[in-house]
Structure 1
């Protein structure tokens, strides 16, 4: 943690307040249960402190926690015993240590908001009153859960799973978060392959902390007899004569279903859903005041992402919590009754009437408002939540040999094959290459392709439905058997006629036309068809003349319908003369956009970061922007430029995006800029 944080007046104020409460307040749960248990268990150290406690006639409800909670308090208690200090100091010192560590973890999860963190967490009435006035120890499991979330965010899944199990060992209620961890990994495709690492961490943590506790019959007995567990069943509705509908389990299962419905969550969405679960649990149960600390990390993250209204509502909720908690605390009533300067009727007014119920009602109402706002602002407006409703569809058109597959693969490499489904127009040729119809018609003619089937399948994928399609093998000229293609977060539909039909163009969130220089197109097509697809050079050269009329009639006009036209052009007209290994080809990119492409910021980055030469112009009465980009650049420069002009898009990329060098990297960068714009437009 930054040492400057310790010098902030608000931090010092909170620290002094905590120390004062530890010195002067002796909460009943601490003096009646926790400290006697810790004292007994440290008189004779044993691996079964629960058994020792029950053998000495201790209360069965004294310490219903696992090894991690016991070990958390053990060092400070032993130090106090060795120095003959009050055990309350050791207990309080442990809580303050956990408090400071939780502040540090929240600072990692919500970076750059130190002042807000000190205000809404470090000075939070819920944390201070719940932990230091009422004496509850929920800071320990919440710290461990927050630590697990931090490692989860950093994709350190073994450590995340291990720390999560320690949170469960500290307090069983933390197990509520486990299904959300698993759903997140299952639906976040870049992370799904790392699910076994989380399971390894969970397994190791279970063997180290949970299994030994389960072998202690005394410990299990104390956990089962904990009266707090039964509170989740107190809010229920009668169904018939013998059945009850438990509201809290019902709400929890509905939240699980809501999380499952999100096809690809990000960390912020996952964290918000987890916070909503904990908030709803404490609102719908006669919860222990310590339970409210469970929702604090998510409330802090929500306030950091929202506005002052969110901070104000959370402050009202916190103050109502404090009033309500004190009104039901016997110690508070005793203090009021013993205060000679207060009227005798004050105690009855505060503790004997309906005031506590009214305060609790107001607190629940404020909490529900918070839950609604969190859902609306952090969930329903989340980019990933909106993306989960409908895939992002990219259409790529261009002439034969224009580089559609190469370009599609480059974009697919950024988002990861696990998140991208590709649909190729070549797979919708009506006939195998051996059929005599190809002597009459070329592939470039729309009548030679099942464009209706292509459109229907694309609509189905756009609607998140799976399809069955065939694959056209360019080497054999034959179609494969039908196979299933699953919809995905991103769908790339490429083909000669990808922008030909109006219904196809309506499906795309971004449409791209590859308008390669004709001499380069013929050069690349000749290289591809001869060396990769096994055609003869004479046959390929003859196809150029035969296909030219169809290209001019059906293919090139599609450029007018594209949001983005990417043109690969030679640096000079005679570039192909003598091209080979000793004379590599050098190109320039001309990008024309109808929607704009962050041209000013993009130009600055391309010049300043990538060291390229950029010319900018407008066309068609300034409705189109054209950038001409020359020079060589590296994949590292492209990634740096992308982080500068569209940082938000990185949430959607693979864990290790495959950035390209040269002109293909520039195409990636320009395309990402357009995708970023299209996502923003889609989410308006």
Structure 2
């Protein structure tokens, strides 16, 4: 906070606020809020609303819950103790909320402090609504932004508790609650935090809403009789016979449905959709001018992420808001007489009485233009929004024993099992192992597999549809009963023939071929089939010779169609030679061949500088294919740091705690993730 207090522009804005508090006492403050607070501090009670009504106060004075009252109470008590006007305590409480909101926005938009001072701290909407017109909407908004901040920090219990405090401060904040629930439900990495968020909501309701409902029936009556709540029904289409379609609820439900339709929300998209809902609600409601503060976090974030046109458009919208609010403030409003005289002198008679409505119309038009631009720039161009239209599909091919399952599991560990659907080619063998057809045909022959079914199911998953599949149990050689596979954000399709058919190759956003050294492949396959799948050594050795022709004919040619080829090789072939019946500890090198990549230079620099590896890079004449040979040992921590440097944007798609691996598999994770990032970028461009 010190960085703001040393900024003269901030201090000037603070002085302006204090000056307005000292010289301006808006009608709502002088007639309602301060008298209510005066009655509260004069006779402290858990039901200050009943005390106020007992003294003959109007029910419209303070239609808010405990959170709002408790927020203004401390400085009101200080002013009473000092003998100062309670209006000062009310105003300075708003300043506290104002500074807190600025600080929160600074945390959520790091590095943009100068812009925040310009577009938020000096926002005409905030200054006029809070300090000229006297509205207290800063309080529920700062509580709501606190809740957003805790969600971003993955503190769901605090987020739920503070969200309910915002609802207690102003019932209209209930509009935000469905967006929180959709965000936590549709972001699969965060879904585990949904129960804790709901627990926070329940605790907040018990602490703030339940006492308000049980102990303060007078407060509940004041809240429900608030005339502001009825304004949402004024804009309506009359169908006759007492049937209306209310525009504001319709617009809100449309934005809510659009949010629900996004398969997976990131925080930025969630924040934008919530802000759009608030902006459209206040635009289409003849609401209190204070309601426009609800949209300020959205407008500030939009200006921070967009260009000067956005800043100019928001500035125009803010000026129109100020003029419209002051014109519509009524005969007793601030500056209303001067503005009315201006209308009479400067405008023709036929326009003078419509001037306020015309200004309001232009303001609404500017707000709608803002909403359209925000949707186009912050929603439709959002990577998560575009990913929600179609999953990202990764194809993995390779010979038997090449490590397809281990590689797929390593990639799944980065994105989280909750975000990945897997399709295995082994599950599409046509016959159980006991069938006599396997005596004349091997698994490597495409004719022994239902590749059409594999392609059909992959297309269905890519289209967002669920499928029914079976699982081939390698230990028994039999197929399981059918089970459902749900489509997901990431689909990994692996198998012997994953790149065999053209239609399969068309489905992939990124295709990978595992081209393991033949001696190493046979070594690993022997270890796997004997120790994990229960085969005899003789049977495995015989299968090598029997399957070799099919491997040469059907499997290895698929490498030519892969975007990325990962070849695991021993440092020295002699390492696979047994010594005294044992194979010495293996050391590997990784050879990668990439087609149409564009960040191999940065990848090489990071592998050398961060991971301490030896890297040789060779490319063909047109740089359409690049080969890297990587040798050395590295840790999972180094791999994670290297990924953060090479492709930081992809981390938003990963699990909250990605499972990075050591050694060669970690390098495969890093290189594959780099190419996934490239493939996502290309897909979004195209």
TM-score, normalisation: structure 1: 0.97
Q: 1:332 to 1:584 in 2, by over 3 A?
A: farther
Shift of 1:4: 2.0
Q: Does the CA contact (< 8 Å) of 2:564 and 2:592 recur in 1?
A: yes
Q: Does the CA contact (< 8 Å) of 1:336 and 1:342 recur in 2?
A: no
Map 1:51-450 to 2 at 5 A: 51-215=50-214, 216-330=216-330, 335=335, 337=337, 345=345, 353-450=353-450
* TM-superposition CA deviations, 1:608-656 (whole Å, max 9, x none): 1100111000137532001111100000000000000100000100011
SS of 2:492's partner is strand
Shift of 1:241: 2.1
SS of 2:591's partner is strand
Query: Is the aligned partner of 1:616 residue 2:617?
Result: yes
Match of 2:553 in 1: 553
SS of 2:72's partner is helix
Query: Is the aligned partner of 1:680 residue 2:685?
Result: no
1-structure distance, mates of 2:343, 2:494: 82
1-structure distance, mates of 2:182, 2:572: 54
Match of 1:37 in 2: 36
Mean Cα deviation higher: 478-487 or 578-587: 578-587
* TM-superposition CA deviations, 1:141-177 (whole Å, max 9, x none): 0000000000001110000000000000000000000
* TM-superposition CA deviations, 1:585-623 (whole Å, max 9, x none): 110111100021511111111111100111000137532
Q: 1:656 to 1:343 in 2, by over 3 A?
A: closer
SS of 1:239's partner is strand
1-structure distance, mates of 2:337, 2:51: 38
Q: 1:457 to 1:340 in 2, by over 3 A?
A: closer
Q: Does the CA contact (< 8 Å) of 1:327 and 1:351 recur in 2?
A: no
Mean Cα deviation higher: 542-551 or 329-338: 329-338
SS of 1:297's partner is helix
Q: Does the CA contact (< 8 Å) of 1:51 and 1:219 recur in 2?
A: yes
* Gap runs ≥5 in structure 2: none
TM-score, normalisation: structure 2: 0.97
Shift of 1:186: 1.1
Shift of 1:214: 1.0
Shift of 1:347: 11
2-structure distance, mates of 1:636, 1:202: 37
* TM-superposition CA deviations, 1:293-313 (whole Å, max 9, x none): 000001111111111111110
Shift of 1:582: 9.4
Calculate the aligned-residue CA RMSD, in Å: 1.8
1-structure distance, mates of 2:279, 2:432: 61
Q: 1:344 to 1:181 in 2, by over 3 A?
A: closer
Q: 1:449 to 1:338 in 2, by over 3 A?
A: closer
Match of 1:500 in 2: 500
Matched length: 683
Shift of 1:10: 1.8
Match of 1:6 in 2: 5
Q: Does the CA contact (< 8 Å) of 1:184 and 1:265 recur in 2?
A: yes
Q: 1:342 to 1:446 in 2, by over 3 A?
A: closer
1-structure distance, mates of 2:278, 2:336: 33
2-structure distance, mates of 1:277, 1:343: 34
Map 1:449-468 to 2 at 5 A: 449-468=449-468
Q: Does the CA contact (< 8 Å) of 1:336 and 1:347 recur in 2?
A: no
2-structure distance, mates of 1:548, 1:474: 20
2-structure distance, mates of 1:531, 1:350: 93
Map 1:522-537 to 2 at 5 A: 522-537=522-537
